[in-house]
Amino acid sequence: MINKPYNPDRRRLLKIAGMSALTAVHPVLLFAKNANVNRTPSANFHPDIEIELNLKTDNVPILEGQKTHVWTVDGNVIKGPDSTLKIINQSYLGPILRFQQGQKVRIFLNNQLPAESILHWHGLHVPSAMDGNPMYAINTGETYVYEFEVLNRAGTYWYHAHTHGRTAKQVYSGLAGLLIVSDPSEQALGLPTGSQDLPLVIQDRSFDGNNQLQYSNHMMQRMHGFIGDNILVNGLPDFTLEAASRPYRIRLLNGSNSRIYKLAWDDGSPLVVIGNDGGLLEKPTTRSFVMLAPAERLELWVDFSQKSLGSEITLKSLEFSHGSGMMGGMGMGRMGRMGGMMSHNTLKQGSEFNVLKVRISHRTKGKETLPSKLSNIPKLSHNKAQNPNNPRPIRLSMRHMSALLNGRSYKMNDIRADEIIPINTLQPFEIDNGFQGSHGMMNMPHPIHLHGEQFQIVKREVSSRSSRAYSTVADGLIDEGWKDTVLVMPGEKVTILKPFNDFKGIFMYHCHNLEHEDMGMMRDFLIQ
Query: In this structure, how many other beta carbons lie within 10 angstroms of the beta carbon of residue 17?
Result: 9
Binding map of ligand C2O across residues 118-157, x = CB under 6 A, - = no contact: --x-x-----------------------------------
Task: State the amino acid at position 168 in one-letter form.
Answer: A
Q: How far is the CB of 134 from ligand C2O (least distance, A)?
A: 9
- What stretch of H or E contains 248? strand 247-254
- 303 vs 484, which CB is nearer to ligand C2O? 484
Quote the CA–CA distance of 456 and 482 in Å, as a whole number. 5
> Is position 295 an interface residue for ligand C2O (rule: CB under 6 A)?
yes
Using CB under 6 A as the binding criterion, the count of chain residues that bind ligand C2O stands at: 10
Residue from 249, 449, 460, 483 touching ligand C2O (CB under 6 A): that is 449
Residue from 513, 514, 515, 519 touching Cu ion (CB under 5 A): that is 513
Q: Per CB under 5 A, which region of 197-205, 354-362, 440-448, 496-504 contacts Cu ion?
A: 440-448
- What stretch of H or E contains 23? helix 8-25
CA-CA-CA-CA torsion sign (203, 271, 347, 515): negative
Residue 366: exposed, middle, or buried by beta-carbon count in 10 A (0-12, 13-18, 19+)? middle
What is the distance of C-alpha 429 from the center of its chain?
19
What are the b/e assignments for 395-410, b being 16+ CB within 10 Å?
bbbbeeebbbbbebeb
> Residue 516: which of Cu ion, ligand C2O, none does it interact with, CB under 5 to 8 A by kind?
Cu ion
Q: How far is the CB of 124 from Cu ion (least distance, A)?
A: 8
> Is position 162 an interface residue for ligand C2O (rule: CB under 6 A)?
yes
> Is position 395 an interface residue for ligand C2O (rule: CB under 6 A)?
no
- Looking at 33-164, list the stretches that DSSP marks H as alpha helix, in order from N- to C-terminal side: none
- What stretch of H or E contains 470? helix 467-470
Q: How far is the CB of 481 from ligand C2O (least distance, A)?
A: 18
Angle (nearest 5°) at CA 464 between 460 and 465: 120
> Is position 508 an interface residue for ligand C2O (rule: CB under 6 A)?
yes
> Is position 316 an interface residue for ligand C2O (rule: CB under 6 A)?
no
Binding map of ligand C2O across residues 69-108, x = CB under 6 A, - = no contact: ----------------------------------------
Residue from 160, 169, 224, 516 touching ligand C2O (CB under 6 A): that is 160
Instruction: Report yes or no: 252 and 302 within 8 Å, Cβ to Cβ.
Output: no
In the DSSP assignment, the letter for residue 188 is T
- 84 vs 258, which CB is nearer to Cu ion? 258
Quote the CA–CA distance of 414 and 82 in Å, as a whole number. 42
Binding site for Cu ion (CB under 5 A): 122, 446, 451, 511, 513, 516
Binding site for ligand C2O (CB under 6 A): 120, 122, 160, 162, 295, 449, 451, 508, 510, 512
